A and B are shown apart, each in its own frame.
Chain A
Amino acid sequence: MNTGFVQSVRALVTLKPKQKLTAQYLLSLLIAVSLAFLVGAGIMLLCGYDPVACYAALFKGALGKPRALGNTLAKTVTLCLTGLAMSVAAKAGIFNVGGEGQLYLGGLAAAVVGARMADSPAWLIVVCALLAAMAAGGAYAWLPGILKVKLRVNEVVTTILLNSAAIYFCSYLANGPLKTAERGIPSGTDSIAAAAWFPPLIRLSSLTTGVFYAAGITLFIWYLMTRSTAGFEMKITGTNPRFARYGGIRADRLALWGMVLSGMVCGVVGPLEVFGLHHRFLTTLSSEFYFDGMLVAMIMRYQPVGVILMSFFFAILNIGGSAMELSAGISSEVILIVQSVIIFFMAAEGGISEMARRSAAERRVRRAARRAEKEASA
């Protein structure tokens, strides 16, 4: 036989170890999603709904109409930015749980800039507002960062506490010194200059031109984490800080910068909402956006590409879920249960992949053993 041909076919079939890992990972993710939807279907059956119709309503509600798709993409942007903010800090071995507060401060800073600079050209307003948001978010993350690096104060504790401080501080300002004189606005700041609003890309949806800024930031974070020298050093620091120090990496500085960068990204999420949606700062700016983002980041183990994809999936669940309630008449509690079950399965993916890997290995050996036996008897 033509052995050269056989060999080249074999080389094509056998993947490199790294590719194999990726392939296995995707496969296990697929299994997890399928299982999740199956269990979700079971729950819906139990509650007396038709799962096929419900899932159809879910996807149609999230992707069916341009407007729905726009909303889903807008949600993706929020999840993706917050998820990446979590990931970039975690990669450097520091955990930012304070994104919610940084987001609020960023939103407020941007809204103030947007309202005060009303006479400036629109582009300048946007640039200044984004910079102000990043500065506010970054500075607010620097505080727990420096406490961690210099005094070894647990950053999880400080960031959680700082969340409330920031949210209530913003709330105070929006209800007090910065409260708008306009009528019908319960608690919010003055409206920003109309020229600087992010116009919607799809009519009536919440997808605005803000998505371009988000895309830029996403690209930057992806590059930083996976392709840059700093990302390399962050990975070493995040996986073993002592080793990083011994290897001559300034581990503390990296962790601090990871934290600040994370805060800056969170800060930007604020103006995206402010300039795109409310056109002013409202005390209801975020409904725990950052915690959803954290969930996405943790499930995807802080891998940037994974976070981007999983954000889209989460957005479908979120937007489609609300639509499902309206179109399929399924109660929102059941939808929430199904969503939680699906998320639960995604999180359990690690265990599932391990199981799959083991059974595959066992099968291979059994087959080899059988073949060996046959050869021996022949």
Chain B
Amino acid sequence: MSAEGPVVRFEHVTVQFPGVLANDDVSLDIRRGEVFALVGENGAGKSTLMNVLYGLQKPTLGSLWIKGRKIGPRHDPLRAMAMGVGMVHQHFKLVPSFTVAQNIVLGMEPKRRGLFYDQKRADHDVRALGERFGLPVNTADTVGELSVGLQQRVEILKALHRGADVLILDEPTAVLTPHETDELFEVIRRIVAEKGMTVILITHKLGEVMALSDRVGVMRRGKLLGVLPTAETDERVLAAMMVGRDVIFDELREGAPGEQVVLAVRGLAAKDDRGLPAVRGVDLTVHAGEIVGVCGVEGNGQTELTECIMGMRPQTGGTVTLNGRDISRHTPRAIRAMGVSWIPEDRLSTGLSAKATVTENLLVGKQRQPAFSLLGIHYRRRNARRYAAKLAEEFDIRSGGLELPAASLSGGNMQKTILAREFSFDSPVLVISQPTRGVDIGAIEFIHEKILEKRNAGCAILLVSADLDELFRLSDRLVTLYEGQITGRFEAGSIDKQEIGYYMTGGRQKEARKA
């Protein structure tokens, strides 16, 4: 194999962004038929390096070789695809209103008489492709209605359909449930072993690196610190390399939860965007100083549940009370005023305005307070800036400047911005969805600390996450949600991850096992 030479070679690749060296003299060989993991914190330059390979980013200096051929300055995704490089982005690039088959063949559609789009052949081709790679899909489904895990599968199939034999996966498991993650790994192992594919995995979940990869490269601040065979390293070493210091996960919970019920959800029902029942009679209580974790496979009503509590989605039944006061069927504005803050799972569409500045994003919700608004008319910009600077320091938000658009922040810093804003309301109730999705290790630690600080200060917290480790680490109690209903309730420590998986799938697997 090695006689063939590397399938991809980066030579002294440097990428300059305004004010930042995103890649700093990176030289790296990727071997044919390996799973190569590229790890590093957010903003370390992993995605940029892969964008160079995929033709989305031109290197300022240095050169790129694919399959022994030097890549010219006109490299772009089309050329990359033609050379067998496919990429699945963290944020999917699919057309939501198209079907699975349409999305996959988009750009190279089968034609009838060289002119008309051939739907039948598209369906057939896609089904055959799915079978060949062990990735079955329902070709006629509309992509916008699929779960995130299935959308990712469509993305992978799209790359395979274009003949990719080098597949770049950018944070593929960030949005997946444990079960979906296992499935994905199964697929990766199979296509590498059977089809001779090369897979480059961008991630910062070290457990996955250890489980899946052959070699691992660690990046920090644009530099490639080193490449190690996975078998010769361990998570602790990698984590220390990534963040430049030892990472210690401590037990931070203090004291028992209070007795007082703060948030009570009774018989809550709601529909999803398609008008189908998504939440079907959920009962929940959260006490002061308690974190209740909601586990569930994505798409089992978690999103709708949190949206209902915040008033972003009309509920079709049930009540939500805060300290005994009914807060259901109000506008988000009123619910906020009554004391609920929410960290939504979707940062860019709900949690932030990417085009507004970081300062403005931090201020939203407080812009009418006298400190920031003179007589409710004049925007007191200087006070706002001072306040934002203080919050940014407190929450360690790293930016090129608080007066730049929030879009200029990395994913982790966007999340810290949302966290800083929502935590600063000092609301008695916090609803937190996917707080560390796509966030790097250093920031995860920080965010977890902040959440626990809130809990220790007496906040009632409802935590929804797809990351079981996170739920187990933070929660006082856990509930499992399956098809919009609660299927199990547990005290922390009374159950392990394996067992809770049964309840997350409706408890059916457990019964099957017993039988």
Contact = CB atoms under 8 A, between A and B. Distances in A.
A225 to B, nearest CB: 11
Contact of B364 (A21, A227, A236, A364): A236
A228 B312 contact: no
B333 A243 contact: no
Nearest to B374: A229
A365 interface: yes
B404 interface: yes
A280 interface: no
A235 interface: yes
A18 interface: yes
Given A365-B14, A365-B16, A236 B349 contact: no
B89 interface: no
Interface string B12-39: 0010111101000000000000000000
Nearest to A361: B16
A233 interface: yes
Contacts of B16: 361-362, 364-365
B403 A246 contact: no
Interface in A241-258: 242-250
Nearest to B18: A361
Nearest to A368: B16
B332 A365 contact: no
B333 A249 contact: yes
A315 B184 CA distance: 61
A361 B365 CA distance: 37
Interface in A78-114: none
A17 B401 contact: yes
Contacts of A357: 18
Contact of B368 (A229, A239, A361): A229
Contacts of A240: 349, 352-356
Contacts of A242: 349-350
Contact of A236 (B19, B332, B336, B353): B353
Contacts of B289: none
Contacts of A227: 378-379, 381
Interface string B477-515: 000000000000000000000000000000000000000
B150 to A, nearest CB: 24
Interface string B361-405: 001110110001100111101000000000000000000110110
B312 A229 contact: no
A361 B60 contact: yes
B372 to A, nearest CB: 7
B373 A229 contact: yes
A321 interface: no
Nearest to B408: A17
A230 B404 CA distance: 21
A358 to B, nearest CB: 8
Given A18-B401, A240-B349, A365-B61, A228 B364 contact: no
B85 to A, nearest CB: 23
A246 B360 contact: no
B344 interface: yes
A246 B60 contact: no
B377 A247 contact: no
Interface string B391-435: 000000000110110000000000000000000000000000000
Interface string A302-344: 0000000000000000000000000000000000000000000
Contacts of A243: 349-353, 364
B337 interface: yes
A235 B356 contact: yes
Contacts of A365: 14, 16, 21, 60-61
Contacts of A362: 16, 60
A33 to B, nearest CB: 24
Interface in A154-197: none
A113 B60 CA distance: 66
Contacts of A145: none
B17 A236 contact: no
B461 interface: no
Given A248-B337, A362-B60, A365-B61, A16 B401 contact: yes
A366 interface: yes
Interface in A1-39: 16-18, 21
A235 to B, nearest CB: 6
Nearest to B334: A248
A247 B364 contact: yes
Instruction: Give the residue among A245, A246, A249 with the most B Cβ atoms within 10 A.
Output: A246
Interface string B319-350: 00000000000011100110000101000011
Contacts of B331: 245
Given A236-B360, A362-B60, 14 more contacts: A232-B363, A232-B379, A235-B360, A239-B353, A240-B356, A243-B350, A245-B312, A246-B332, A248-B333, A248-B337, A248-B365, A361-B60, A366-B60, A366-B61
Q: Which 6 residue pairs are nearest across A and B when measured between Cβ atoms?
A: A17-B401, A248-B333, A240-B353, A247-B364, A239-B355, A365-B16
Interface of B: 14, 16-19, 21, 60-61, 310, 312, 331-333, 336-337, 342, 344, 349-356, 360, 363-365, 367-368, 372-373, 376-379, 381, 400-401, 403-404
Interface of A: 16-18, 21, 227-233, 235-236, 239-240, 242-250, 357, 361-362, 364-366, 369
12 contacts: A16-B401, A17-B403, A229-B367, A229-B373, A236-B356, A236-B364, A240-B353, A242-B349, A246-B332, A247-B364, A248-B333, A249-B333
